[in-house]
């Protein structure tokens, strides 16, 4: 009798109607619900050592003296390292790219040398047999610092009262200006100009699994195997190779189960580079797992902006143009290799996104501060661009006494205007559906009914708000994002599909999985492409030695790009399988098809033979096939989008909430999102990506902020003080779709991973300000805490 | 993080426990551990010796007494929540307990632990102050009882000396016509309060005859709102205007310390709002 | 200081274990390091995220907030044990069907909490479900699918018992 090995699981085994487009459950999730996943900290290796870091307590200081000798002789300690010790093993890096003109940053080392630039930056490393012992040893480190002025405020950083890196002459990492032709004239002719300044507090990802890396250097063959919770294993392979001076093919990155990433785990972290360098130095496996407080201090932060935006409109509601001044504060270094200039750059690119105005002026300043480093985090720049665009659009509608839905309706780029190649910031749209999406949303949410309900309740002293946020979203990027700037980050991906003799197929793909369901979607695509039932498909990702070369998962590219590679490889495999079948049956290939694990007659559907028979002959009895015939039952195909730098999607969200004007508490009643991400490969997985993204966006809008005091100390770096969305306060989220496939691929799938986060803050802000409009009060600073609501309502004074 | 190392003892009797506490200058009592262990895991606390009192008999019961209800220090929040006796005899405590953290924490956290720690944003200290409950303490000098109103001394400071152990809390049973009020404003369910109040009014019909109200998360310890309570005497609980007028006296009772969620003005405003709402609900 | 150790004897997933451990070792580290039961996860180690939720003597607790030294004679049930015994079958199937997990890191703790809810309040509605799991952090799902999954189990069980 077999032991109980798995819970019953209903995978559809009937391939008749195809899997793409269906809500097929994820078979790879079975092990996760049983606690049988393999996350990084689950991995054990012989002689595994643990590294912890002694971190700077100061935001900016010279390291005057550092004595590690007592720590070195603490129980269980194997070695200690300072910044200079690691120089021999790892070269420094600078986070700049060629296509961000003028971007500058200072070299960053795996462990700080001479000077620390943010509270939490590593100053020394202790390696011990257990993590407990390593942490105990930290208490014996003697460190003396000369405290330097800390640049904490963005404005003072910009004014360069104190320059963090004197060699760079000021604190500007990157700045950009653009102005369309004829801007001044057109602006002067507008009937009204509305201006607001929006502030966004920096916040962070809070992945439940903290950052984790296990580096294993083997001196015997000069090879480095890194188990890494990363989204981009090939990128890390390139970086470890380059900075640790190990040939690329000797570096292997393995990603198993990852407990959430959202962009946090796609960047290069100094302490992770240090871990790898230490493994090389010690010639044994070394693991680093950030604990939660370290995570708050050192996982990339994002989204600290002060954006002043103006909209010019005609009396009839037509938008003439937008004018934007955006200031954003990053850390003391631009993060490697994607740079910390991209978020601000996206804000400039995307502001005004859904609209057909012709005029645009923008100025961006990205400044260094002595707070934690920042970089790309889910929806990069979109939450800000969408919030400021949709916020000012609502203000304009309010001034003109127009319904916000109607105001948007008349200003959207029409659905028949594509391809739209004249958007003022230079981005190009292949095909979007703003108008259809708006109508679908208004129907889904019963907009008129909600407005009537709102009016009734206002009379009773209950204040509800309805907020809309239309958006565009970057997905499936080409090298336009990073490659053109010189980054060795691949914008293409590959899939290998292999036929096993018993009739199973195995897919490996260079796109990676962090729970969004890429592997599940690839299984659906492969099953349909080849003609097998989905229970016959296995998908593997996350091993640079075994997968084709590719980009990994970021910028909502997994399903669209990886999926297309899987589709093409699946189709090619099917063709090759039919070649073998035709040879076995001695018929024309064109008379055959594959369906539901069988080779069938294309016209009559009569089953000719099971695929396993094709496997038996091809692998074990090729002597029975024609003389010059070679079976080719493993196929690889690669894909990269070619025509458009970014494959834009569009969507529109709505938030319905109630404000308790006595306490400032905001209760989220419901949320809607209509999303056009092209072909929907698995509705359940797409909808869940959107829901998770919406709640993540709500977090930034309502709860999350990384608070620093005037000395650059983070004062709320625990889960009790940094507030993340929990179940009791979150709304149900209704999701609808329009499907406008991209023509750049056969699959037609665009991306969907970040859309929820892009639009939620804007929708929420608009709903909040709609609720408060009877009081002539509005909020422009996120997160919208009860205190800020009360201050806006004049119920409590601002200073305290 | 991993906690620093320590010595661990699990005595069988109260006197053993007290002796152990007295034997070290840096010893802490371990009961449920729901506040102490997080602090130790973050290395914010690293005592040399933990005295685990879970095996000591006589600390786990909820018993009716002449005066009302006596609850042993090791009774968990979960047990309090499930107890019919508590609902009947200490209704204010029953009202407060669902606000304490989350289920998993309530299954281990104890009333003794919560009161001994005296976190300014915790619910129980205000409940016992508003209830005029009596705290039972055993120490090297033997048993003593302290009224809750003098038990809390300051930020995380109580009447407990280094070798003392809080052993029980005794609540008076509800008085005739006593109605209990409990309100808490927190950012999310289960969070520490931004502002909260616990108390009771004795009313005839909807008119308040007397009130006892304690606020929490407004300073280093629970604060009895004596001025506001006095002003409430004679107020009709259906009359929002007069309740608001009385609530203004909180300006004299409270001088809130700001925290990450709210400054003193916001806390004062919320305190008044919560008080009025609590009473309107009774009206 | 030198590591103080002690001998602990307890039952984990029905099996008696006896180990010599550092007294400061909390239950989750004990399960993961000493027993290789890596299904219980650590997300914060300060008792807020709920990832470490599991059962001790039948009660739902946070494994990072209890020392294994406190658990002499206790019975511990982890995700592995609850899965192998089949107790979580129905919930796990519902989670898969509704995609009530993405990265899966919160899932063992979330399942334990959901299981506890259904035992204690078999008629819980959506708001009560949300309240009960309000101490379990999930960054991936936004919670709705989890609520849907638990609701579906409650409904199914209700039909079975003839309860409305």
List the CATH number of the domain containing C121: 1.10.150.120
Residue-level pLDDT at C161: 72
| CATH 3.30.70.330 given to domain B62-172 | no
Partner-chain contact C134 B189, CB within 8 Å:
yes
Q: How high is the pLDDT of residue C60?
A: 98
Token couple for A522: 């690839």
Residues C99 and C74 in one domain: no
- Residues C113 and C130 both lie in one domain: yes
Instruction: Name the residue of chain A whose CA is nearest to B257's CA.
Output: A800
Q: Does B171 touch chain A (CB under 8 A)?
A: no
Task: Tell me whether residues B264 and A795 touch, CB distance under 8 A.
Answer: no
Chain A with chain C: Cβ pairs closer than 8 A: 190
Compute the mean pLDDT over every residue in chain C, rounded to the nearest whole number.
Answer: 96
Q: What is the DSSP letter of C30?
A: I
Would the pLDDT of A13 be above 60?
A: no
pLDDT-derived band at A1, boundaries 50, 70, 90: very low
Q: What is the mean pLDDT of chain B?
A: 97
Q: Which residue of B has its CA nearest to C135?
A: B102
Of C22, C101, C126, the CB nearest to A29: C101
pLDDT at position A798 is 83
Q: Residue ranges of chain B with pLDDT lower than 70?
A: none
Tokens 């000069």 belong to A222
Nearest by CB to C102, which of A30, A206, A688? Answer: A688
Chain segment A447-488, per-residue pLDDT in tens: 999 999 999 999 999 999 999 999 999 999 999 889 999 999
Residues from chain C that touch A41, judged by Cβ atoms under 8 A, are 32, 38, 42
Provide the residue range defining the domain that includes C25.
Answer: 5-80
Taking CA atoms, A735 is separated from A470, A755, C129, C140, in Å, by 14, 12, 21, 16
Judge: C134–A726 Cβ closer than 8 Å, yes or no.
Answer: yes
Q: How far apart are the first and last CA of chain A?
A: 71
Q: What total of structural domains would you count in chain C?
A: 2
- Chain A partners within 8 Å of B262 (Cβ): 786-787
Same domain, C59 and C95: no
Residues C63 and C127 placed together within one structural domain of the fold: no
Q: Which of C97, C99, C101 is the best residue to mutate to test the A interface, defined by the most A CB atoms within 10 Å of its own CB?
A: C99
Q: Which residue ranges form the domains of chain A, and what is each CATH number? A: 49-148+210-258+264-298 (3.90.1170.50), 301-479+643-792 (3.30.365.10), 492-639 (3.30.365.10)
**Band of the pLDDT at A6, cuts 50, 70, 90?**
very low
Q: How high is the ipTM of this complex?
A: 0.97
Contact C80 A34 (CB under 8 A): yes
Confirm if C130 and C148 have CB atoms less than 8 A apart. no
C3 against A657, higher pLDDT: A657
Please compute Rg for chain A using Cα positions.
Answer: 28
pLDDT tens track for A234-270: 999 999 999 999 999 999 999 999 999 999 999 999 9
pLDDT of A5 above 80:
no
Instruction: Please tell me the predicted confidence (pLDDT) of residue A8.
Output: 47
Task: Measure CB to CB from residue B105 to each of C29, C47, C70 and give the nearest one.
Answer: C47
The residue ranges of DSSP E strands in chain B, in sequence order, are 7-9, 27-30, 49-52, 62-64, 68-72, 134-139, 142-147, 152-154, 157-158, 165-172, 178-185, 195-204, 207-216, 223-224
pTM of model > 0.90: yes
Interface contact A721, partner B, CB < 8 A = yes
CB contacts, 8 Å: C1 with chain B: 5, 48
Q: List C-alpha distances in Å: B198 to B92, B125, B216.
A: 7, 9, 8
Record the tokens describing residue B175, joined without a space.
């008085």
Least CB–CB distance from B34: residue in C4, C26, C47: C47
| Residue A531, Cβ density class (10 Å: 0-12 exposed, 13-18 middle, ≥19 buried) | buried
Question: Which candidate in A12, A35, A671 is best for mutational testing of the C interface (most C CBs within 10 A)?
Answer: A35
How far is A439 from chain B, CA to nearest CA, in Å?
34
Q: Which residue of A has its CA nearest to B101?
A: A720
Q: How many angstroms away from the CA of B188 is the closest CA of chain A?
A: 7
The answer, for A696 touching chain C at a CB cutoff of 8 Å, is: yes
Question: What span, in angstroms and rounded, lies between the C-alpha atoms of B256 and B263?
Answer: 8
Using CA atoms, how far apart are residues C69 and C27, in angstroms rounded to an integer? 8
Nearest chain B Cα to A719, which residue?
A: B191
Average pLDDT, chain A: 96
Mutation target for B interface from A74, A668, A786, A789: give the one with most B CBs within 10 A. Answer: A786
Angstrom distance (rounded) from CA A686 to CA A678: 11
Which position has the token pair 């979607």? A521
Q: Which residues contact B258 (CB under 8 A, 6 or more apart)?
A: A800, B264, B267
pLDDT score, position C2: 64
Cα angle for residues A784, A785, A791 (degrees, 5° grid): 95
Q: Say if the Cβ atoms of A262 and C139 lie within 8 Å.
A: yes
Instruction: Judge: B107–C59 Cβ closer than 8 Å, yes or no.
Output: yes
Mutate to test the interface with C, among B103, B105, B114, B187 (most CBs of C within 10 A): B103
**C-chain residues within 8 Å CB-CB of A732?**
126, 144, 147
**Looking at the structure, do residues C54 and C116 belong to the same domain, yes or no?**
no
In terms of domains, do C62 and C100 share one? Answer: no
The reply to whether residue C78 touches residue A35, judged by beta carbons under 8 angstroms, is: yes
> To the nearest whole angstrom, how far is the Cα of B186 from the nearest Cα of chain C?
13
Crossing angle of helices A683-702 and A382-399, in 10° steps, is 70
The CA distance from C25 to A670, in Å, is: 43
Which band of pLDDT confidence, cut at 50, 70 and 90, is reported for residue A392?
very high
Higher pLDDT, B97 or C2: B97
Q: In terms of DSSP bridges, do strands C5-12 and C75-77 run parallel, antiparallel, or are they unpaired? A: parallel
The span from the CA of A723 to the CA of B227, in Å, is: 35
**Which residue in chain C is spatially nearest to B32 when comparing CA positions?**
C66
User: Sorting pLDDT into bands at 50, 70 and 90, what band is C1?
Assistant: low
Q: Chain C residues with CB inside 8 Å of B8's CB?
A: 4, 6, 23, 67, 69
What is the rounded distance in angstroms from the CA atom of residue A457 to the CA atom of residue A669?
Answer: 14
CA-based nearest distance A342→chain B, Å:
31
pLDDT tops 60 at residue A605: yes
Among candidate residues C18, C49, C80, the one where a domain is terminated: C80
Q: Are B2 and C24 inside 8 Å of each other by CB?
A: yes
A163-197: b or e for each residue (b if 16 or more CB lie within 10 Å)?
bbbeeeebbbbbbbebebeebeebbeebeebbebe
Give the gap in angstroms from C-alpha C163 to the nearest C-alpha of chain A. Answer: 26
Higher pLDDT, C94 or C159: C94
Report the alpha-carbon distance of residue A385 to residue A389 in Å, rounded.
6
Whether residue A709 lies within 8 A of chain B, CB to CB, comes out as: no
Domain C-terminal end among C80, C103, C130:
C80
CA pair distance A662, B256, nearest whole angstrom? 18
Q: Are B70 and B131 in contact (CB under 8 A)?
A: no
Q: Give how far C66 is from chain B: nearest CA, Å.
A: 7
List, as one string, the DSSP characters of A148-179: ------HHHHHHTSS-SSGGGSSSEEEEEEEE
Predicted pLDDT of residue A12 = 53
How close, in Å, is residue A490 to chain C by CA atoms? 24
CATH number assigned to the domain comprising residue C59: 3.10.20.30
Inform me whether the pLDDT recorded for C164 exceeds 60: no
Element (H, E) at A633: none
**Among C80, C115, C134, residue at a domain's last position:** C80
Chain B positions in Cβ-Cβ contact with residue C59 (cut-off 8 Å): 78, 107-108
Per-residue model confidence as pLDDT tens digits over A133-185 = 999 999 999 999 999 999 999 999 999 989 999 999 999 999 999 999 999 99
The chains found to touch C (3+ Cβ pairs under 8 angstroms) are A, B
Query: Which of A135, A293, A716 is nearest residue B2 as measured by Cβ atoms?
Result: A135
The minimal CB distance from B269 to the residues A707, A721, A790 is found for A790
Q: Residue B27: list chain C partners with CB under 8 A.
A: none
User: How confident is the model at residue A11, as a pLDDT?
Assistant: 54
Q: What is the least distance, in Å, from the CA of A280 to any CA of chain B?
A: 26
Q: Which residue of C has its CA nearest to A519?
A: C102
Nearest chain A residue to C107 by CA distance is A33
CATH code assigned to B178-282? 3.30.390.50
Best of C35, C142, C143, C153 to disrupt the A interface (most A CBs within 10 Å) is C142
Dihedral of CA A82/A83/A87/A93: which sign?
A: positive
Whether CATH 3.40.50.2300 fits B7-52? no
Half-sphere exposure of A561 (CA within 13 A, CB side): 31
The alpha carbon of residue B78 is apart from the nearest alpha carbon of chain C, in Å, by 10
Residues of B in contact with C3 (CB under 8 A): 5
Residue C72 and residue C126 in one domain: no
Q: How far apart are the first and last CA of chain C?
A: 61
Interface test with C, best of B104, B119, B186, B187 (most C CBs within 10 A): B104
Q: Is B8 within 8 Å of C3 when comparing Cβ atoms?
A: no
What DSSP string describes A448-504? HHHHHHHHHHHHTT-EEEEEEEEEEEEES--TTTTGGGT----S-EEEEEEE-TTS-
| Dihedral angle computed from the Cα positions of residues A690, A695, A698 and A704, in that order, rounded to the nearest 10 degrees | -130
**Start-to-end C-alpha separation, chain B:** 50
């Amino acid at each position: 009798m077999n032991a109980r090995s798995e819970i019953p699981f209903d995978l559809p085994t009937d391939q008749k109607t195809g899997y793409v487009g269906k809500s097929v459950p994820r078979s790879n999730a079975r092990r996760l619900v049983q606690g049988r996943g393999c996350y990084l900290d689950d991995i054990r290796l012989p002689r595994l050592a643990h590294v912890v870091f002694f971190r700077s307590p100061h935001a900016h200081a010279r390291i005057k003296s550092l004595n590690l000798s007592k720590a070195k002789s603490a129980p269980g300690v194997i070695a200690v390292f300072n910044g200079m010790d690691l120089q021999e093993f790892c070269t420094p890096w600078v986070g700049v790219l060629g296509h961000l003109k003028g971007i500058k940053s200072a070299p960053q080392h795996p462990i700080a040398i001479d000077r620390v630039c943010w509270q939490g930056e590593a100053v020394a490393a202790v390696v011990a047999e257990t993590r407990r012992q390593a942490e105990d040893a930290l208490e014996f480190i003697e460190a003396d610092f000369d405290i330097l002025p800390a640049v904490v405020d963005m404005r003072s950083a910009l004014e360069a009262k104190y320059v963090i890196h004197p060699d760079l002459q000021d604190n500007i990492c990157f700045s950009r200006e653009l102005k369309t032709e004829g801007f001044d004239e057109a602006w002067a002719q507008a009937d009204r100009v509305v201006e607001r300044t929006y502030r966004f507090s920096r916040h962070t990802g809070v992945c439940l699994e903290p950052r984790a890396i296990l580096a294993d250097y083997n001196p015997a063959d000069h090879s480095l195997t890194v188990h890494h919770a990363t989204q981009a294993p090939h990128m890390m392979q390139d970086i470890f190779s380059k900075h640790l001076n190990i040939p690329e093919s000797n570096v292997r990155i393995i990603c198993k189960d990852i407990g959430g990433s959202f962009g946090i785990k796609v960047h290069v972290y100094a302490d992770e580079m240090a871990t790898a360098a230490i493994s090389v130095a010690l010639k044994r496996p070394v693991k680093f797992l950030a604990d939660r407080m370290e995570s708050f201090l050192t996982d990339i932060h994002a989204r600290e902006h002060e954006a002043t935006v103006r909209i010019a409109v005609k009396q009839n509601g037509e938008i003439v143009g937008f004018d934007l001044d955006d200031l954003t504060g990053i850390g003391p270094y631009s993060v490697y290799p994607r740079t910390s200039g991209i978020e601000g750059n996206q804000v400039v690119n995307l502001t005004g996104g859904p609209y057909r105005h012709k005029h645009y002026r923008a100025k961006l300043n990205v400044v260094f501060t002595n707070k934690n480093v920042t970089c790309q985090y889910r929806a990069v720049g979109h939450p800000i661009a969408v919030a400021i665009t949709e916020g000012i659009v609502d203000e304009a509608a309010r001034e003109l006494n127009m319904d916000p839905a109607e105001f948007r309706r008349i200003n959207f780029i029409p659905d028949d205007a594509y391809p739209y190649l004249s958007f003022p910031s230079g981005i190009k749209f292949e095909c979007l559906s703003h108008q259809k999406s708006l109508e679908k949303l208004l129907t889904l949410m019963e907009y008129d009914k909600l407005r009537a309900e709102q009016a009734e309740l206002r009379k009773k002293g209950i204040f509800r708000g309805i907020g809309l946020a239309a958006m565009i979203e970057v997905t499936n990027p080409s090298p336009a994002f990073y490659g053109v700037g010189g980054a060795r980050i691949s914008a293409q991906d590959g899939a290998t599909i292999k036929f096993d003799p018993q009739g199973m197929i195995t897919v490996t793909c260079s796109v990676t999985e962090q729970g969004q369901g890429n592997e599940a979607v690839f299984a659906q695509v492969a099953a349909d492409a080849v003609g097998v039932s989905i229970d016959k498909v296995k998908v593997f990702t996350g091993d640079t030695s075994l997968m084709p070369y590719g980009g990994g998962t970021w910028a909502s590219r997994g399903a669209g790009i990886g999926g297309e590679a899987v589709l093409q490889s699946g189709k090619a495999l099917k063709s090759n399988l039919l070649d073998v079948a035709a040879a076995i049956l001695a018929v024309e290939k064109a008379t055959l098809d594959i369906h539901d694990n069988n080779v069938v007659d294309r016209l009559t559907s009569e089953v000719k033979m099971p695929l396993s028979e094709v496997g038996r002959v091809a692998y074990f009895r090729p002597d029975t096939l024609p003389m010059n015939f070679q079976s080719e039952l493993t196929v690889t195909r690669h894909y990269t989008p070619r025509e458009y730098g970014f494959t834009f999607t569009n969507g529109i969200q709505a938030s319905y909430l109630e404000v308790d004007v006595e306490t400032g508490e905001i209760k989220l009643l419901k949320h809607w999102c209509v999303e056009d991400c092209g072909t929907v490969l698995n509705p359940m997985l797409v909808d869940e990506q959107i829901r998770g993204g919406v709640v993540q966006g709500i977090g930034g809008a309502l709860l999350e902020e990384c608070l620093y005091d005037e000395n650059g100390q983070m004062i709320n770096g625990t889960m009790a003080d940094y507030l993340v969305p929990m179940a009791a306060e979150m709304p149900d989220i209704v999701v609808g779709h329009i499907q406008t496939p991209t023509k750049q691929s056969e699959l037609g799938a665009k991306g969907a991973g970040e859309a929820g986060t892009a639009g939620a803050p804007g929708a929420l802000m608009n709903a909040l300000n709609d609720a408060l409009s009877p009081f002539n009060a509005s909020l422009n600073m996120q997160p919208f805490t009860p205190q800020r609501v009360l201050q806006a309502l004049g119920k409590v004074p601002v200073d305290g | 993080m991993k906690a620093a190392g320590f010595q661990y003892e699990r005595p069988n009797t109260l006197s053993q426990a007290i002796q152990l506490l007295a034997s070290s200058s840096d010893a802490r009592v371990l009961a449920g551990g729901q506040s102490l262990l997080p602090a130790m895991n973050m290395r914010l606390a690293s005592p040399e010796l933990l005295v685990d009192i879970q095996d000591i008999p006589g600390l786990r019961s909820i018993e009716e007494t002449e005066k009302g209800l006596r609850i042993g220090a090791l009774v968990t929040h979960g047990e309090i929540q499930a107890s019919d006796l508590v609902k009947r005899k200490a209704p204010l405590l029953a009202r407060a307990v669902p606000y304490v953290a989350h289920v998993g924490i309530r299954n281990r956290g104890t009333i003794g632990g919560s009161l001994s720690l005296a976190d300014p944003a915790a619910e129980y200290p205000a409940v016992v102050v508003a209830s005029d409950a009596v705290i039972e303490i055993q120490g090297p000098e033997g048993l003593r009882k302290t009224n809750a109103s003098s038990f809390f001394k300051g930020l995380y400071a109580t009447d407990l000396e280094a070798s003392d152990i809080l052993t029980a809390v005794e609540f008076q049973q509800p008085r005739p016509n006593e109605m209990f009020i409990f309100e808490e404003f927190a950012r999310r369910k289960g969070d520490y309060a931004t502002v909260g109040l616990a108390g009771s009014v004795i009313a005839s019909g909807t008119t308040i005859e007397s009130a006892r109200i304690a606020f929490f998360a407004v300073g280093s310890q629970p604060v009895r709102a004596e001025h506001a309570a006095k002003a409430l005497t004679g107020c009709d609980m259906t009359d929002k205007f007069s309740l608001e007028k009385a609530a203004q006296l909180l300006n004299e009772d409270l001088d809130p310390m700001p925290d990450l969620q709210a400054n003193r003005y916001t806390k004062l405003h919320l305190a008044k709002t919560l008080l009025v709402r609590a009473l309107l609900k009774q009206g | 200081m030198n590591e103080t150790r002690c001998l602990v004897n307890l039952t984990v997933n029905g099996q008696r274990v006896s180990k010599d451990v550092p007294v400061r070792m909390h239950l989750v580290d004990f399960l993961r390091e000493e027993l290789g039961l890596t299904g219980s996860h650590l997300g914060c180690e300060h008792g807020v995220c709920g990832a470490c939720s599991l059962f001790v003597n039948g009660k739902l607790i946070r494994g990072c907030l209890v020392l294994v030294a406190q658990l002499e004679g206790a019975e511990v049930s982890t995700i592995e044990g609850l899965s192998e015994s089949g107790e979580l079958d129905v919930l796990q199937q519902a989670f898969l069907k509704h995609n009530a997990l993405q990265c899966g890191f919160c899932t063992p703790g979330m399942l334990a909490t959901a299981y506890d809810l259904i035992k204690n309040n078999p008629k819980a509605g959506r708001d009560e479900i949300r309240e009960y799991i309000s101490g379990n952090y999930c960054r991936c799902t936004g919670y709705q699918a989890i609520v849907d999954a638990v609701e579906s189990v409650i409904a199914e069980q209700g039909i079975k018992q003839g309860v409305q």
